[in-house]
Amino acid sequence: MTLRDIGAQSARIGLLAVASTMRGTRTSELDWCHGRSLWAAMGGYSNHQSASDTARELFTLLIGYIEDLMIPFNVPPVVGTELSFIQTAIGSGKLCGDGSFTQRCQQWLEQRFGSAKVLLTPSCTASLEMAAILLNIHPGDEVIMPSYTFASTANAFVLRGATIVFVDIRPDTLNIDETLIEAAITPNTRSIVPVHYAGVACEMDTIMAIAKQHRLWVVEDAAQGVMATYKGRALGTLGHIGCFSFHETKNYTSGGEGGAILINNAAFIEQAEIIREKGTNRSQFFRKKVDKYTWYDIGSSYLMADLQAAYLWAQLEAAETINLRRLTLWNRYYVSLAQQDSLAVPVLPDTCQHNSHMFYLKLSDINDRNSFIRYMKSVDILTVFHYIPLHSSPAGQRFGRFHGSDRYTSRESQRLVRLPLFYNLKDSDQQRVIDAICGYYI
């Protein structure tokens, strides 16, 4: 049986019923497959497929994997209301950007995090590109950031002609070392881009003080930082501009791809809307502030489709539930693995409330790390390393330079491995991961 066989409406009823069961009791697929009412709602099952097989197929659709097989590194979060909101969006007759679900999500983000203006975008990459345009970055400008980050952090500014100046990271949080930023500033420096690795905040008070002293803009790459805070303030709201990701690998997703730009300096709001709407004042037209719209400046199509915003709305409504579940999983890893002498676990500064975006281990070196990954795969658990430092990449060498010495960036990159951590990860599967790690060190 497939979703095509049972029909969209029946599939939706079945998946929502399963989601409710999972949220309430987290029972296994073999438990709920015996629920006659569920199968009645779905119209029964094929003569060629058992109830158990059908249940496992629907369970896979719900949480993205089946127990007793390979435990994946990540599965996009599913809370159970996504299909209902998507159906509402389809029925609205408006699927393009800035529809009703986009407005709901933006208002929720503004009110929850205290940003002057939040605009949904197709990706965090798009948000960073918007930030570079807003700041009028141009050839000859320099932008300071860590090398231990994703290519989009640098690429957004390189597209405007900037030179990237990489500085080393702290060995504890793997964030940019705030004590090295000031020495990297030149007369050409325009911006600092701190990256909140694993949802743990950079030392923002120091960074903002440096930026103020040298009259620089701060763009927070908070791709991994939704629902995390620094001294009680939401990540993404501390700099002049913040950038979120709602990619399927993040804590909250808009159906695979997506992002948001947080405008924390009100002077940028009008220009941000123009850039996002292909360089036009179309947003003002829809608010009836002008009787027609026209081309005002450079821009691009940086809107999220409302169909994706509908998926995201389901996730934001359940934001606390998702956050608490991830914290439970993260804490279980920490308690179980912190005493292992052969590895290091994440460090959390007292000023930071993290969001459990990631649980990583740091092993002795790259050989130990690669051996660990091979072992875990042999017992059907997928663990993965992370960024290759940008300054060692062909594009990094072409478009940037590393200021000072690389004491920690390359070393920590070669030691780090990430463990499976996602909202729908089952307790029994997490225990399999923990047992396998402990077995590796016996």
CATH number at residue 306: 3.40.640.10
Distance CA 178, CA 203 (A): 7
Distance CA 416, CA 334 (A): 15
Structural domains counted in the chain: 3
Nearest to 189 by CA among 128, 143, 133: 143
CATH number at residue 419: 3.90.1150.10
Whether 77 is in a domain gets the answer no
pLDDT, residue 64, reads 58
The answer to whether residues 392 and 407 belong to one domain is yes
The answer to whether residues 88 and 47 belong to one domain is no
Contact 346, 359 (CB under 8 A): yes
pTM: 0.86
Q: Where are the alpha helices (DSSP H) in 179-221?
A: 204-214
pLDDT, residue 435, reads 97
Whether 327 is in a domain gets the answer yes
Whether 229 is in a domain gets the answer yes
Could you list the mean pLDDT of each consecutive 10-residue stretch along the chain, which spans 442 residues? 39 40 36 33 39 46 62 97 97 94 98 98 98 98 98 98 98 98 98 98 98 98 98 98 98 97 97 96 86 93 97 98 98 96 95 98 97 98 98 98 98 98 98 97 81
Last residue of a domain, one of 294, 316, 338: 316
Whether 144 is in a domain gets the answer yes
* Domain span at 8: 3-63
The answer to whether residues 167 and 232 belong to one domain is yes
The answer to whether residues 211 and 244 belong to one domain is yes
Phi, psi of 337 (to 5 degrees): -115, -10
The answer to whether residues 177 and 280 belong to one domain is yes
Whether 69 is in a domain gets the answer no
Contact 388, 413 (CB under 8 A): yes
pLDDT, residue 290, reads 87
Whether 257 is in a domain gets the answer yes
The answer to whether residues 359 and 273 belong to one domain is no
Angle between helices 269-276 and 124-134 (to 10 degrees): 120
Last residue of a domain, one of 316, 348, 373: 316
Whether 78 is in a domain gets the answer no
Phi, psi of 399 (to 5 degrees): -110, 0
pLDDT, residue 51, reads 43
The answer to whether residues 213 and 349 belong to one domain is no
The answer to whether residues 297 and 371 belong to one domain is no
Contact 144, 167 (CB under 8 A): yes
Whether 362 is in a domain gets the answer yes
Dihedral angle, C-alpha 392, 419, 325, 83, nearest 10 °: 80
The answer to whether residues 186 and 309 belong to one domain is yes
Distance CA 395, CA 231 (A): 36
The answer to whether residues 198 and 304 belong to one domain is yes
Work out the number of other CB atoms within 10 angstroms of the CB of residue 184.
19
The answer to whether residues 305 and 335 belong to one domain is no
As a whole number of Å, the end-to-end CA separation of the chain is: 44
Last residue of a domain, one of 298, 316, 334: 316
The answer to whether residues 396 and 278 belong to one domain is no
Contact 134, 191 (CB under 8 A): no
